[in-house]
Amino acid sequence: MSESERPDRPSLTRWQMLAVAAIVIVGGVLRFAHLRSGVPYAVGVDEPDVMWRAVRMMKTGDFNPHFFDWPSLTIYLQCALACLTFLSGAMHGAWRTLGQVSEADFYVTGRALTAALGTATVVVTFVAARRWGIVVAFATAVLMAVMPHHVRESHYTLTDVPMTFFVTVTWWLALRALDTRNLRAFAWAGVAAGLAASAKYNGGIAMVMPAIAAVAAGGSLTTISQRLIVVAACGAGAFLVGTPYALLDLPKFLDDYARLAAIFAAPRTGEPGWSIYLKHLRGTLATPGMIAAAIGLAATAARIVIGPNRGRWMLTLACPLIYFIVMARSFQIYGRYTLPLLPFACLFAAIGVIVVASGLVRLLRPRRFWTAPIAAATLTLAVAVVPTSRSIAFDQMIARTSTMDETYAWIVSHIPPGSKIAIESRVLLLPPTYPSEHFRSVLDHSYEGYVSEGFTYLVVSTDGYQAAFAPAPPGRDAFARYRALFAQTTEDAVFVPTNGQPGPTLRIFKLTK
């Protein structure tokens, strides 16, 4: 029996452990770089929704999030970390009371938690991939360490990276349960799947992995039923540990979930979701990685048919396949929704690399030093080049002064405190000294409406108005309304991105009463 077929894989050698450490360090550096970028006035979309609730819990002691668009596990983790950060800061004289702090004081440590979970995902991916041999495991870990979408999202206090971590843990524990056939191992795999769902609802799809493992492990119908019951019970229990008010505030939970489900179930028009998600995957894997992953998928499908170890291959393919189908059929399509697919995609790409490397060695029959592992390492590095360059480019980009930085500085230096400001999109957050309100589009109000509500300035962003001013505006009415609104105001400042300055174009208009 080969290493990849044994539950008791041999321990890593010292050099192998050093190699794993190097891969993890690279992944960590990419994810921890420039975590302060944009804090506190230009944080990522949806970050305030997590951090505001985490800090509110800390200040009030009310652990009901009163919000179930996401489950609560990530908010609770951020709340716990915020408490530790507050105590540490108090010990060093940073503040004396809770009234002195706001969510702005906790973004950096909150992002560090996300970056840590993102880095830990690289480790878990390596451990899970060892079932396919040490060479595949190293190739998988290398690719996961540099995946640009995962690197980018690991910089923000959102739910997708924690969910991806628990999905990957579920994968590893389901494989382990399949190896050991121990009831306790199935219980832990169920717990991990429940925590994935408690980080984000779509993480619950991970439950298919321990369920498949429970059946594939064989045994009598009674034994299989026991495993499935344990997996389901532990999954449900773990979900409620992370999101207890799904039960304690059941009406609010059901209302929010039903509203969210209705949005996802709305009919889509235009380009199909599966096509968009494949483009997102290509954006992170790049073309060589997509080709390698396609080869690996074909090899996986073949092994499910011919064996051996069909259960291992089946549970590894079923989860990302079901996840892709479900998410591609939803109304809302975002690139970060592909994150749970990446550990599996990296494994498939690594398998594809090994298949190609082995074929080249057999075909070319090179000298003895040109072995399959060396060929695989060379091809892995070749596949990793573009993702690595994109991850580095992202870290370099967020380190630069952005249009949001310049806009914030201009507002503080040119607009009197107390001025009420309307901001298009969530691109900019202002301190409490500037009463502000965010709008999906500044067209949500008329000019007279803004004046009557006491607004004195508008901050508009290409994130909001760009579509209306495109060469072929999708709605001439929106185009005309923007032009009419701008004509009634005075443009005081404009900040345009350049090759060295990221961000949207931001324009500041003064309302003349």
Are residues 132 and 10 part of one domain?
yes
User: Three-class SS of residue 504?
Assistant: coil
pLDDT at 44: 85
CB 454 within 8 A of CB 419: no
Are residues 423 and 363 part of one domain?
no
Mean pLDDT rounded to a whole number for the chain: 91
Are residues 147 and 104 part of one domain?
no
Are residues 88 and 177 part of one domain?
no
Confidence bin at 4 (pLDDT 50/70/90): very low
Domain boundary among 110, 141, 157: 110
Domain boundary among 110, 138, 164: 110
State how beta strands 489-495 and 436-439 pair: unpaired
Tell me whether residue 262 is in a domain. yes
Range of weakest confidence among 66-80, 161-175, 492-506? 492-506
CB 162 within 8 A of CB 77: yes
Tell me whether residue 42 is in a domain. no
Tell me whether residue 287 is in a domain. yes
Are residues 392 and 294 part of one domain?
yes
Sequence-ordered alpha helix ranges (H) in 400-446: 403-414
pLDDT at 136: 95
What token pair was written down for 18?
């050093």
What is the tens place of the pLDDT at every residue in 327-341?
A: 999 998 999 999 999
Sheet with 489-495, edge to edge strand ranges? 436-439, 420-424, 455-461, 506-511, 489-495
Confidence bin at 472 (pLDDT 50/70/90): low
b/e for 263-280, b at 16 or more Cβ within 10 A?
eeeeeeeeeebeebbeeb
Confidence bin at 474 (pLDDT 50/70/90): low
Tell me whether residue 166 is in a domain. yes
pLDDT at 2 over 60: no
Average pLDDT on 374-397 reads 94
What is the tens place of the pLDDT at every residue in 228-281?
A: 999 999 999 999 999 999 999 999 999 999 999 998 888 888 899 999 999 999
Given the structure tokens 């004195």, which residue do they identify? 456
Are residues 256 and 168 part of one domain?
yes
Are residues 191 and 336 part of one domain?
yes
Q: Which domain holds residue 142?
A: 3-35+111-399
Domain boundary among 89, 110, 131: 110
Are residues 123 and 98 part of one domain?
no
pLDDT at 501 over 70: yes
Are residues 389 and 408 part of one domain?
no
Tell me whether residue 308 is in a domain. yes
Tell me whether residue 41 is in a domain. no
Query: What one-character-per-residue DSSP string does 125-160 give?
Result: HHHHHGGG-HHHHHHHHHHHHH-HHHHHHTTSS-SH
Helix, strand, coil percentages for the chain (3-state, nearest 5): 70, 5, 25
Number of domains in the chain: 3
CB 377 within 8 A of CB 478: no
Are residues 87 and 232 part of one domain?
no
Are residues 275 and 141 part of one domain?
yes
pLDDT at 1: 31
What is the tens place of the pLDDT at every residue in 314-370?
A: 999 999 999 999 999 999 899 999 999 999 999 999 999 999 988 888 777 665 555
Tell me whether residue 40 is in a domain. no
pTM summary value = 0.91
Are residues 53 and 18 part of one domain?
no
